Structure 1
Amino acid sequence: MTRLAVVTGGGTGIGKATAGMLAGEGFDVIIVGRRPDVLADAVKWIGPQATAVTADAADPAQIPAVVEAVAGRTVDVLVNNAGAFLPGDEETLEGVAARWRANLDSNVLTAVLMTTALLPQLRRPGGKIILTSSIAAQRGGGGPYSAAKAALHGYALDLATRHGGEGITANVIAPGYVTDSEFFLGRMTPEGHQSRVDATLVKRAGVPADIAEAVRWLVGPGGSFVTGQIINVNGGSVLGR
């Protein structure tokens, strides 16, 4: 039977590139996101192996739609890519609380809920869990976004520890500055772009395909002995830790 991958945040950017790569590797791919029109465009781009599920992965009531789409099949790969940098008014304690909760929901709860729901169906042995973090988790600068992405590191280490004996691996990919995504939509200036490029050792921005290639390695034979790791894909903006 064809292998199955689930990719959250699969309609744009890194998630879309990852889903397209997995389809090219022969996987059936379920992409999950909140906007049906964006998902529909992504399915056309990925091809007939892709199926879209409209769901907010931070809402427990919407997760069963993804489980239903899996339809009892074994999940070989789960890529928890959903997440966003969410600004907010922090002039009051209420505003601080609202912004932190929103960032934690978007970046952490999405991964926790989807992983928990699909864990019973992950392949044993051989299942792969991948979480998309950020360079911000390691160098700060993003406020609650940095903290939320850092929380994924601890979560992945816990998953790796708890489920390694079942042959399931869990790893984090921490991208640096990546263009061709919606992350900086409306927030990036030419000066900001250049400063981020200058901060790399390779003097270029990343693109979603760079992250998808790291996923390709992790889900392939070469990644079978890799678990509990934070894999930096940032052009040298932050050196290895």
Structure 2
Amino acid sequence: MARQVLITGGTRGIGRATAARFVALGDDVLVTGRGPDVAATARQVGARGIRLDLEDPESVGTLRDDLDAVDVVVNNAGGFVGPPPPAGAGLADVAAHWHRGLAVNLVGAVLVVTALEDRLRAGGAVVSVGSIGAEYAGNPYSVAKAALQAWSVGLSERLGPRDVTVNAVAPGYVEGTDLFGGPLDAERRRTLVGRTSLGRPATPEDVAGTVVFLASADARHLTGQTVHVNGGARTTR
């Protein structure tokens, strides 16, 4: 039987590549996005698409109208929320910047899983896309990703008795996404690639392959983990 897969932020980059992988496996894939073209974009990879605002609890709640049951939830939506307020900015501006970063990269994932928690089927998986930046957290994006990875550990303990695994994937520099708002300048790219052992950036497909593995039958005893996909830019023991 085809699994029901939900992927947030599934129209571009890692999300799109992940949707294509699940579709190729014969799964029924629903992707979310903010843009008005989400349905048309999803159809290009054989998925269904709905417009959803993950910062709006009421919008997230409509997922319950679309999914009676779900086997895999991939929390992929997120990104930078613009430059920080300039030096000397008021505290209200600083607070707004940080609250938005946390909402986009952490709270949205929490809302999605909370809305669908009672509909997750045994044998299912929750996979959240974190970041290597969580290891050097100093901005709203990186701090939110660190919190996302920590939240995944707690969620794994709660859902484990129901035979649902929960893991995070922490990519390094991934080329072919719009995370940075466009191509990096040559020097910054050389720096990031130079930190890897493999001498190349990741592709969205590299990350998608790990996400799909974590949701597979081969990973049923792997939970509460953060799997680093960074080409050796940061190693763990």
Report the TM-score range of the alignment, normalised by the length of the smaller protein.
Answer: over 0.9
2:70 corresponds to? 75
C-alpha distance after superposition, 1:29-67 (max 9, x if no partner): 000110122x234323212xx111101112101013322
Aligned to 1:138: 135
Aligned to 2:99: 101
Report if the CA contact (8 A) 1:160-1:168 is conserved: yes
Shift of 1:92: 2.1
Q: 2:163 aligns with which of 136, 154, 167?
A: 167
Q: Following superposition of structure 1 onto structure 2, how do residues 1-241 of structure 1 map, counting pairs within 5 Å?
A: 1-37=1-37, 39-47=38-46, 50-70=47-67, 72=68, 74-87=69-82, 88-90=84-86, 91-124=89-122, 126-140=123-137, 142-186=138-182, 188-240=184-236
Q: Measure, in 1, the Cα distance between the counterparts of 2:40 and 2:186.
A: 28
1:54 maps to amino acid:
R
Unmatched 5+ stretches in structure 2: none
CA contact (8 A) 1:53 1:69 kept: no
How far apart are the structure 2 equivalents of 1:196 and 1:130? Answer: 25
User: Structure 2: which amino acid aligns with 1:46?
Assistant: V
Residues 32 and 52 of structure 1 are in contact (CA less than 8 Å); yes or no, is this contact kept in structure 2? yes
Give the aligned residue type for 1:227: T
Contact map agreement 1:33 1:55 (CA 8 A) in 2: yes
Matched residue SS, 1:6:
strand
Whichever residue aligns with residue 14 of structure 1, its letter is I
Q: CA deviation at 1:226?
A: 0.3
Return the letter of the residue paired with 1:182.
D
Give yes or no for contact 1:5–1:29 (8 Å, CA) kept in 2: yes
Distance in 1, matches of 2:5 and 2:182, equals 31
* Inter-partner Cα distance in structure 2 for 1:96 and 1:187: 27
State the Cα distance separating 1:145 from its structure 2 match: 1.1
Aligned residues: percent identity?
39
Give 3-state SS (helix, strand or coil) of 2:213's partner: helix
Partner Cα distance (1:157, 1:188) in 2: 33
TM-score by length of 1: 0.93
Structure 1 residues without counterparts, runs of 5 or longer: none
Distance 1:36 1:20 in 2: 20
Q: Provide the TM-score with structure 2 as the length reference.
A: 0.95
CA distance, structure 1, for counterparts of residue 193 and residue 51 of structure 2:
34
CA deviation after TM superposition for structure 1 residue 135, in Å: 0.4
Which stretch of the first structure deviates more once superposed, 3-12 or 58-67?
58-67
Answer yes or no: is the 8 Å Cα contact 2:39–2:50 preserved in 1: no
Paired letter, 2:104: S
